[in-house]
Structure 1
Amino acid sequence: MELSDRSKSLGWFIPLRLASFIILFAVVVLYMEYPPFLQLQFIIYASLTLAFTLLLTVDKKLKLINVTYSFISLQFLFEILIESGIIYATGNVNSPFSGLFVLTIVSAALVYGMVGTLLIASAVSFSYAFIIWLGLFSSTDTSLSLYAIQTIFVGHENVFYSILLHILIFYLVAFISGYLTERLKLKDKQLEVTSKALKRARLETDDILLHLNSGLLTIDQTGLIIFFNRAAEEILGYNSHDVKGLHCQEVFSERMPLLADYLMEGLNKKINYPRKEIDIKSKDESLIPLGLSTSVLKENDGNLRGVITIFSDLTEAKNMESKIRAADKLAAVGELSASIAHEIRNPLASISGSVEVLNNDLKLTGDNKQLMELIVKESHRLSKILSEFLLYAKIDKPIYNKVELCHLISEVIQLLYHHHSFHSGIRIKLETDMSIIYVIGDEDLFKQLFINLMVNACEAIGSADGDIICRIAKNKNSEMVEFYLQDNGPGISDEHLKNIYQPFYSTKKSGTGLGLAIVHRVCQTLNLKMSVVTQINEGTTFLIEIPEFAVNIQKNEQYTTA
């Protein structure tokens, strides 16, 4: 028998044992006035009952269960002896206390099961038959011969049938009580297994609902909130302990009345809302777009149980949708602008060339000469803007190759020496841990990226002396190569920092506002991570993380070498 089964059996057994003791005490002490021949047995029986009760009180976890069962066995033994003595002294076969044996048999069924109960019934039957024989024949024949036992059957038929009837009753009670106890134990086991399974299923279900990414809220048929998961707490800004048991209109009327209205409308009209979008207010009074759906909960008989609503915060989805719309518009505008710029560029080139020819052939003086020089200058500037804009617009699909980064940066630095923004007061230095570092990317796009980044640094330094440091290093914790471009120019203010990648945004008088926009567009196209650190009057550092070739070539076969 398992420990839990024994514990349950003893739980029923203790009250029955105490009842048996009280009955025997009343019969022996009060009714029979404590006869001498039962005094020793009753003292031992009372001591065993007391010891058994104290042991169960102290040993609540039933660690001494074997000792407890030994006390129970001794208690049954002395109980049968006392009951036999009572029957012997109170009329023998006509004693009204033979039913005490039945109480003993029923008690035994609770701890011993069917087999043990039948053994107790056998002991009771033998004791009853023996005490009847002893009462009838001890005065005339004290021998225990077979002939003496047969005399009962011959001379006292009523006695024989009384003993037989009692024995049959004892075994019948033993069988019925043992069977019922076994069935009860089986039902208890089934109930315990079912209860554990139900509890586990409920815990799993509650755990799943509590940890849903979407908010889950349930109200009963009166509108009281009965379930409020963690996502609901985060989205709506309420604590589940504070709102459970309160009416939904009382809770939501101030900041989100539409939510309460939909819940109550679903409750009153039994309407399901597959999908609704509403705006609610957060604790800081900012608007939160909420997507929700409600369903009516019904009993099997169709009666209303309540309403359940599932909802989610649409803020990120709305922001993403806005970005996609903006990107689509920008792409459309960019495509249109690129075609217009291309159409403008051809006649502009003709105009610019013609003006230069006129400037060389005509001998202009005074204001006319200044106007001609202004036309030539602005024509060159407009041509430059169109060239950079077309370059920005056509950045689209890269061709990935194996690129040696150190050599590429050296080439870009050589190009920078011949750029009009560079002057002798600017010092350029290349720092690298290795002489050869291979990365993955589009070589032409890399050149556009680095030349625009370095030109931006030169323009930031301006006419003053300054330093530009290009540093290449491998990140030991990742599969990336880090490129740093640091200048000691004036830095970028917080006001301008958020707009530096916007096309045509520039703080320089002669700037086109496309340099860093091209850098940002190239990084997006090549999926490069880019960051910037700047401090006023101390300079700016750009960091670009580029995937290393040696590691990635084994993971992605789409890369080709060149």
Structure 2
Amino acid sequence: MVGMLHRRRLIILLRPIISTVVLGPEIYFRKNELFSQVFPLVVVILISYFASIIFYLILKTGKRGTVYDFAQTVSDTIIITGLVNFTGSINSPYTLLYFLNIFEGSFFLRPVGSFTITTIATASFIAMGIVWMNHHLSTEIDTIIFNIEMIHYFLKIFIFILFFYLATALTTYFRERFTAGSRALEAVLMTTDDIIENINSGIITTDKSGKIKQFNPAAMSILSLDEKEVIEKSYKEVFPSRLKELSNLISSFSDKGKEQRRLEITNNEDKKIPVMVTISAMRRKNVDYGGILISIVDLTVEEEVQKRLRTTDRMKTALELSAGIAHEIRNPLASIQGALEVITRGIESHESVEKLVDLVLKEAERLNNIIERFLQFVRIPKRERRNADIASILRDVVELVKNHPMYNKGIEITAEFSEEKYIVFIDPEQIKQVFLNILLNAFSAVGREGKITLYFLKRNNYCGIAFRDNGIGIEKEDIGKIFQPFFSKNREGSGLGLSVAHRIVEQHNGEITVESKKEEGSTFTVWLPLVET
């Protein structure tokens, strides 16, 4: 499209230039002739300038296309006809300008339009020839000579017409072939470039000397380098010290084979990124190009998923084992608790012993509660699920939690409810438990005074419910442990609240993400899949 625009501008520019170059000397050499004979040439030049101005203004408005190109080509046919007519008609040395007009039509118009322009040019040339012969061939001359002159001029006109159409046919044919080839090449280039530009893997290519020839956006993101800084430069010069391991791997590569290695590179934020680097020689059908292709795959997400899967497997095994142990502990614990209750009734007069027995009973009851909650965690019941408005459930939990013993009036809860309805397929009671556990955890983090903000997020086809507090925050090394059973920095906590919440959300095909800074607060976001409407 840009190339076509340049061609249109070129035609607008060339029109007055050609008419001036051709007719300027003609006017100069005929300056001694009558004004009436020279004036038409001046008019032709002025018309060419006027036509260029008009078509330039139309082009500036953005109105362009087949009609515009056809009108411009026809106007050039008229200008050329006038130019030829006033410089000798069919004997004019400038008759060849018709071929420029034909080439113009072939480049800008489809075959039908090209042949239409040729037909208009042909009709103009025939009409001009007939007019000229009527004025210059007299019937008073010898009949034989007259006939010879007529045959000569008709043959001349016929030859021009033949070449007009032949030029049109050849130009149109080659133009169509060129256009088809260009489109095919463009399609191949677009496909290849699109793949390289949009692929998630970093792609780098170098020539024999190590100069970087290609450096796609994924490579820029992974290596924290700008394409403009590295293209046409040696990787040894532009790779900073933090990429020394990658640079050494490329330098040691043998172009006879293929090498693949896992590396840990450091980005410009001093963060370690695990990557898989694959280096191979660039060749095709035994043709060695001398360069190498470097593919860099960011393994951060993949290794995180694998880590989570391993953690899940370990937790599953541990939970199955723990469930059995908990049952074994629970049975004798019940017997101990019952026996102590009997003993208590029999030693009411012994105050000191009674206190000790009460302490044992309370601890036994607390241990029983822990086991009860642990069994609930291990065997979360599967209830009936239904479509529900998540905002409505959150409202109920906010009202419920304000009546909880852990809630203090110094804690400010702000809920930013979205006007958009987020419908999710859930067990409402279990999701209420998730929200309640996260809020109770926030209460513990903020203490007697603090602020908790609830708001909604949307990511792809997931709804996020964020719980942000300005509490004590979580240590960086502890973030990966907070969903583990019994992990708690609070002496009064069982360490099962967040574990239960995490398991429930996982069973709903969602996830809980955590962002936290020590002494600044934490944000827990519960992501649940939205129901497609």
- Please say whether Structure 1 and Structure 2 have the same fold, judged by a TM-score greater than 0.5: yes
SS of equivalent residue, structure 1 residue 226: strand
Q: How far is 1:237 from its partner?
A: 1.2
SS of equivalent residue, structure 1 residue 278: strand
Corresponding residue of 2:167: 180
Corresponding residue of 2:292: 307
Residue 282 in structure 1 maps to residue 275 in structure 2: no
Q: Deviations over 1:259-285 (max 9, x none)?
A: 34555566x605345x64321110022
Q: Distance in 2 between matches of 1:451 and 1:312?
A: 40
SS of equivalent residue, structure 2 residue 329: helix
Q: Deviations over 1:282-322 (max 9, x none)?
A: 00221111234445444678140633444332222222222
Residue from 115, 122, 142 that aligns with 1:149: 142
Residue 269 in structure 1 maps to residue 255 in structure 2: yes
Q: 1:129 touches 1:163 (CA, 8 Å); kept in 2? A: no
Give the structure-1-normalised TM-score: 0.60
Q: How far is 1:110 from its partner?
A: 3.3
Corresponding residue of 1:106: 96
Q: How far is 1:249 from its partner?
A: 2.5
Corresponding residue of 2:331: 346
Q: Give the counterpart letter for 2:42 in structure 1.
A: S
Corresponding residue of 2:378: 393
Residue from 486, 506, 515 that aligns with 1:504: 486
Q: Which runs of 5+ in 1 are unaligned?
A: 84-100, 135-143, 154-159, 423-438, 467-474, 535-539, 557-562
Give the greater-gyration-radius structure (CA). Answer: 1
Q: Distance in 1 between matches of 2:503 and 2:197?
A: 42
Give the structure-2-normalised TM-score: 0.63
Q: Distance in 1 between matches of 2:360 and 2:5?
A: 103
Q: 1:501 touches 1:516 (CA, 8 Å); kept in 2? A: yes
SS of equivalent residue, structure 1 residue 341: helix
Q: Give the counterpart letter for 1:278 in structure 2.
A: L
Q: How far is 1:213 from its partner?
A: 3.7
Residue 61 in structure 1 maps to residue 48 in structure 2: no
Corresponding residue of 2:228: 241
Q: Deviations over 1:487-522 (max 9, x none)?
A: xxx995324896776533456656534355445544
Q: How far is 1:17 from its partner?
A: 6.3
1:512-527 paired onto structure 2 within 5 Å: 512-515=494-497, 517-525=499-507
Q: Distance in 1 between matches of 2:233 and 2:168?
A: 47
SS of equivalent residue, structure 1 residue 493: coil
Q: 1:13 touches 1:107 (CA, 8 Å); kept in 2? A: no
**Change in CA separation of 1:7 and 1:272 when aligned onto 2, cut-off 3 Å:** same
Q: Distance in 2 between matches of 1:10 and 1:483?
A: 62
Q: Distance in 1 between matches of 2:470 and 2:227?
A: 49
Q: Distance in 1 between matches of 2:470 and 2:171?
A: 85
Q: Distance in 2 between matches of 1:383 and 1:214?
A: 53
**Change in CA separation of 1:115 and 1:440 when aligned onto 2, cut-off 3 Å:** closer
Corresponding residue of 2:417: none
Residue from 311, 318, 324 that aligns with 2:309: 324
Q: How far is 1:546 from its partner?
A: 10
Q: Distance in 1 between matches of 2:231 and 2:446?
A: 63
1:156-555 paired onto structure 2 within 5 Å: 168=155, 171-172=158-159, 175-176=162-163, 178-188=165-175, 190-192=177-179, 194-195=181-182, 198-199=185-186, 202=189, 206-207=193-194, 209-263=196-250, 269-273=255-259, 276-298=261-283, 302-304=287-289, 306-361=291-346, 372=357, 374-395=359-380, 397-400=382-385, 493-495=472-474, 502-506=484-488, 511-515=493-497, 517-525=499-507
Q: 1:105 touches 1:173 (CA, 8 Å); kept in 2? A: no
Q: How many equivalent residue pairs?
A: 460
Q: Deviations over 1:433-456 (max 9, x none)?
A: xxxxxx986588589779989999
Corresponding residue of 1:95: none
Q: 1:118 touches 1:175 (CA, 8 Å); kept in 2? A: no
Corresponding residue of 1:435: none
Q: Distance in 2 between matches of 1:374 and 1:276?
A: 61
Q: Which runs of 5+ in 2 are unaligned?
A: 59-70, 103-117, 407-423, 450-456, 517-521
In percent, how many aligned pairs have the same letter? 23
Q: Distance in 2 between matches of 1:334 and 1:25?
A: 104
SS of equivalent residue, structure 2 residue 142: helix
Q: Distance in 1 between matches of 2:143 and 2:166?
A: 34
SS of equivalent residue, structure 1 residue 290: strand
Q: How far is 1:129 from its partner?
A: 11
Q: 2:483 touches 2:499 (CA, 8 Å); kept in 1? A: yes
Q: How far is 1:78 from its partner?
A: 2.0
Corresponding residue of 2:80: 72
